[in-house]
Amino acid sequence: MNLMSVTEEIAALQKALASAKSELTLVRTERDLLKERLNKFMRKIFAAKSEVSSQNQKDMFFVFNEAEVLGAQAQPAAQEEDGKDDDQDAPAKKRAKRGRKPLDPALPRTVVRHELPESERICPHDGSPLKEIGVEASEQLDIIPQQVRVIRHERVKYACPCCDGTVRLASKPAQVIPKGLFSEGLLAWVIASKYCDGLPLYRQAALLGRFGGSDLSRNTMAASLVRVGQAVQPIINLLRDHLLEAPLIYGDETKIQVLKEPGKSAQSNSYMWAQMTQGSGPDGTGPPIRLFAYSASRSTAAAQILYTGMPAGSVLMSDGYAVYDQIAQAHQLVHLACWAHCRRVFNDALQALPKNARTADQLAAQFIALIGQLYAVEARAREKELTPTQLLAQRQLHSVPVLERIEALLLANIHAVLPGSLLGKALHYMSAQWSKLKLYVTSGEYPIDNNACENSISPFVIGRRNWLFADTVAGANASANLYSLLQTCAVNGVDGYKYLRALLASLPKAQTADDYEALLPWAIALPAD
């Protein structure tokens, strides 16, 4: 073999080795990306959400373990009959007062007197009768389960005794569901139980049967909810008018499954769009509003319907979904991006790493720490209850320098990280949203994130885990309307059940715009009971 052939063979082997190394690097990269995705999905399924507060985590844990956890920490609440401290013989040291919290004084009370028998009301020393000198009281909390009753409507007939030509029948008040089986009170109970408490209709039917009611068909209950959801549409229209007049609207959306939707399979996703206003202040211009709207798609056309009517120059807060960019451009809105979403993608990248690699010098951890500094400014402002003008000054003083550091770190690393990795996706997400992310520091009235809207969706998401899906499009629309009313009640401090009772009794009588305006959650006159 001559020297030339050996040299050529070595070159071919080196080329093959380089190609193999390149392929190996590609395989390892794909492996690492797949491991990242796997870790992300595993964490999504099994781990706690980073945005959930420690108190909320405790609350969720207590759902299944409250008896075990609380029982291990404390003794059952005992009745305080003698008013004495158990540690009365202890040294004279000030101790925290023990015992349960007093029961709500507004609750009705039933007094049960416990008296000595006549034979024991004699003094054992001189035989004199004992006299009452007072009482020693203790209180227990009691409950009377729901009572199911039947309201019998009797319309009295009147006739002339002198002739057969005059017969009159007393009228019955108009009902939200003409000739409906359920009263306004029962309808309000069913709606509040489903949309506030997440209680599916089949469980409600079982409860009503346990309370002594007849066996009710779930189809009848569902049909009644749909009828009510359609009947309240004038109130929803008024709420939307008020919402579109607000200077700031939060927007978000979540999935809903509709089984019988024309042109779509039962397994496909539809969407529930959420909109809310901050309200309750001179800058919010009116009471806070929560609105839900069903749509078969997540398209720009679907969103356009919801945001048509927003005045130019109004503010829209949303996540990074591209449809909101198109909405903002079409209506000339000030568009803010959500820092909570931005932090979330960096947290996903950090949590996908092995535990021993999640150190503070990791790039994702650096971004999370800097974002934390932005939120620290907001937290201090809330604690001090700063005005928008004062908050703007604090943001300019403390938040702007942090934003500059974040931007510098972003520019230095965006092209040095594999774009397909979780960290690469986080960097490109931040880069795409940067102009909207930094905009909040230009006003003290702009929010830093969209968490308020996400929180308004939470009751819907929790309820969806119980009732799982909507059967029809009409049912999905009705659910959207009823969720809107109940969530608007909640944010305005109005009892949803009492509101529905009053609304359903008054709605059939409303004729004019003023009549419907008086039925809005913050304007209606609620029953005293």
Domain boundaries, given as residue ranges, for the chain: 340-448
Q: Which residue has the tokens 């409303």?
A: 510
Taking alpha carbons only, the member of 126, 202, 221 closest to residue 466 is 202
Mean pLDDT along residues 198-219: 80
Mean pLDDT along residues 106-116: 89
Alpha-carbon span 284 to 388, nearest angstrom = 12
452 CB contacts (<8 Å, ≥6 apart)? 250, 276, 278
| Cα R_g (the chain), whole angstroms | 32
Alpha-carbon span 126 to 119, nearest angstrom = 15
The tokens for 514 are 């003023």
CB 441 within 8 A of CB 400: yes
Give residue-wise pLDDT tens across range 413-462.
999 888 888 888 999 999 999 999 999 999 999 999 998 888 878 777 77
Mean pLDDT along residues 456-480: 77
CB 487 within 8 A of CB 321: no
Question: pLDDT class for 334, splitting at 50, 70, 90?
Answer: very high
Alpha-carbon span 519 to 522, nearest angstrom = 8
pLDDT score of 62 more than 50: no
pLDDT score of 150 more than 60: yes
pTM metric for this prediction: 0.76
Taking alpha carbons only, the member of 479, 467, 400 closest to residue 440 is 400
Alpha-carbon span 407 to 499, nearest angstrom = 49
Specify the DSSP class assigned to residue 129: B
pLDDT at 47: 61
CA atoms within 13 A on the CB side of 260: 5
